[in-house]
């Protein structure tokens, strides 16, 4: 598998800054359908909970979780996700993921989408996610 672009958090003044390890957005197969977002994010400090992810390049972003029962799978939204210092959040295919609705039509594979992570405590953090086509490799 191709390695994901490693992205570091900026600045040293905020002691409760998360560190992005990798972020990818996979575009939808059908125009107008939602894209999917995946990331690894290490939490440094007391952030409380991840409450929202936004982007100027998407009209709306929802956090979702895929659940399986036998051969059936379904998704449910996640309103907030409690995090602790040292946690590694993994949003990956088949599990937790982002659904990006109304993605800007200028966004193309090979580009990037800036994801803004909002927490209960501390400043929002912007992380660049690389854009891959439908079926494109999102990494590990």
Tell me the pLDDT tens digit for each residue of 64-111: 999 888 888 889 999 999 999 999 999 999 999 999 999 999 999 999
**Average pLDDT of the residues of the chain:** 85
- Average pLDDT on 6-32 reads 63
Report all structural domains of the chain as residue ranges with CATH numbers, in order of start.
19-132 (2.60.40.1890)
d(CA 46, CA 66): 27
Structure tokens at 93: 């295919």
What was the pLDDT predicted at 15? 43
CA distances from 87 to 14, 64, 92 (A): 17, 18, 16
pTM of the model: 0.82
Mean per-residue pLDDT, 115-125: 94
% residues pLDDT > 70 (the chain): 84
Angstrom distance (rounded) from CA 59 to CA 24: 17
């Amino acid at each position: 598998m191709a390695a994901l672009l490693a992205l570091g958090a900026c600045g040293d003044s905020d002691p409760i800054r998360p560190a992005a390890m990798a972020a990818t957005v996979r575009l939808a197969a059908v125009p107008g359908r939602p894209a999917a977002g995946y990331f690894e994010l290490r939490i440094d400090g007391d952030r409380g909970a991840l409450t929202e992810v936004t982007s100027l390049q998407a009209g709306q972003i929802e956090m979702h979780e895929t659940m399986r029962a036998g051969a059936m799978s379904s998704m449910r939204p996640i309103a907030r996700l409690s995090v602790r210092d040292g946690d590694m959040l993994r949003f990956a295919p088949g599990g937790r993921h982002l659904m990006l609705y109304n993605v800007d039509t200028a966004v193309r594979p090979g580009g990037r989408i800036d994801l803004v992570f909002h927490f209960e405590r501390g400043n929002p953090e912007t992380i660049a996610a690389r854009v891959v086509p439908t079926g494109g490799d999102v990494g590990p």
